[in-house]
Copies of this chain bind each other. A is one copy, B any other.
Amino acid sequence: MVIKMKFYINNGGRKSGIGEHVDIGIITVSDRAYKGEYVDKGGPKVIDFLNEVLHSEWTSHSIIIPDEKVEIEKCLIKLTDEIKCSLIITTGGTGPTKRDVTPDATISICDKELPGFGELMRKISLKYVPTAILSRQTGAIRGNSLIINLPGQPKAIRETIDEIFSAIPYCIDLIGGPYIEAKEEKISIFRPKNAKR
């Protein structure tokens, strides 16, 4: 299978002058969405969330790809090494089935895994469904990029991203990315005092 690596680019266009510009990759991993059997709801859900909470100007690089480990790896490498996204959010492919390979692709191309992301996301989802323990989602770093695996369900996406996002801007500071600002009235992000500008 040859996947055309064509990203849909969108400039959030916010000219607030607060914080620095950030490139964010959003990968929907789904055989069915890729084939057009249903409309992708995961990717747009992530974009809606980011538009709602970010003060920093940002550019989204979105793509829908099938559940193929090699293709996910290629796509992650392109978004990290070429397009220089500081943050990449995947949705889908985190379960236990044969076709669920998003965390495997993520770990295989990353330098460091951050197991706290997966632990916290499972803990959050466990409040809603006991099958949350079946999710293998994780967070990991490649070069100057943070990659986070979110679940595929639009409802589960919002439940988890809301809580983990508090730690993301400071993580991007630490790995050499731009200084991201968020809207305080929408989300509380955390930085130690000496890391605040």
Contacts and interface: CB of A to CB of B under 8 A. Distances in A.
Contacts of A164: 133
A79 interface: no
Interface residues of A, number: 41
Contact of A131 (B100, B104, B171): B171
Given A96-B174, A174-B95, A116 B134 contact: yes
Most B-side CB within 10 Å, residue of A118, A122, A133: A133
How many copies of this chain sit in the oligomeric assembly?
3
A136 B120 contact: no
A122 B117 CA distance: 10
A36 interface: no
Contacts of A96: 112, 114, 141, 146, 171, 174-175
A167 B130 contact: yes
Contacts of A135: 116
A11 interface: no
Nearest to A116: B133
B133 A112 contact: no
B133 A114 contact: yes
A134 B98 contact: no
A170 B134 contact: yes
Interface of A: 95-98, 100, 104, 112-120, 122-123, 126, 129-136, 139, 141, 146, 163-164, 166-167, 170-171, 174-176, 190-192
